[in-house]
Amino acid sequence: MLGRSLKADLEKKISEAEHPREMAVEVMSALQNEYGHLSDEALGEGADLLGMTPLELEELATFYDFIYREPVGKYVIHVCDSIACWMNGYPALRDYLTRRLGIRMGETTRDGMFTLLPTACIGYCDLSPAILINWKPYGPLTPGKIDALLLKLREQSPQGTAGIK
C-alpha cells in the first residue's frame, strides 16, 4: 500500500500537470523506487492516481527498459548493445558478464545482488563497450575492469563476495 507522503506528493505533481497522463513515467518510477519494482499492486495504484486503466499503464511500462515489472537485484546492470558497443566488444563483454555472474541476460543472481539486462543504447558511445549500473555509466570495459567493479560492489554489500564466480 502506497505511503501517505508519497501518495500526496504524486497527487500534487499530477494535479499540476496540464494532462495527468504526462506524469505516467514519473509516477511509475516513483512507485518502482518505493517497492523495488512496478508490481501489479503498484501498477494499479499508479493507474488510479493517473485516471488510467492498469492495462493502459502496463502498455507504457513494458515500453521502457528502466521500468521493471519483475523484482530485480540490488544492482541492475544494463549492458549497452548499440552499434558502437557491438563494434567495440559488446559480445565478449556480455559473455564475460554472464559467465562471471552465472546468469543469462534477463536474470538475477540467486543472492539477489545483480540483474543483467540488455538495453538498446545508454548514450555513452565514447565509453564503449559500456554498461550502466543503477544509472551510473562504466566503460570502456575489459574483463579486469569488470572484475574490479563487481568486487567493489560486493564489498559494499553486507552479503560480501559470495556468488562471484
Domains annotated for the chain, with CATH where assigned, are 4-61 (1.10.10), 75-155 (3.40.30.10)
State the Cα–Cα distance between residues 101 and 112, nearest whole angstrom.
Answer: 11
Please state the φ and ψ torsions of residue 68, each to the nearest 5 degrees.
-105, 115
CA 108 to chain centre: 12
- pLDDT tier at 159 (50, 70, 90 boundaries)? low
Q: Which of 113, 140, 110 is nearest to 125 (CA)?
A: 140
Torsion of CA 156, 161, 162, 164, to 10 degrees: 110
State pLDDT tens for residues 8-38.
999 999 999 999 999 999 999 999 999 999 9
Euclidean distance between the first and final Cα of the chain, in Å? 38
Cell of 109: 543472481
State pLDDT tens for residues 86-122.
999 999 999 999 999 999 999 999 999 999 999 989 9
State pLDDT tens for residues 38-71.
999 999 999 999 999 999 999 999 999 899 999 9
- Say which residues have a Cβ less than 8 Å from residue 78's Cβ, sequence separation at least 6: 65, 66, 117, 118, 119, 122, 131, 132, 133
- Residue holding cell 492495462? 55
Task: Please tell me the predicted confidence (pLDDT) of residue 162.
Answer: 47
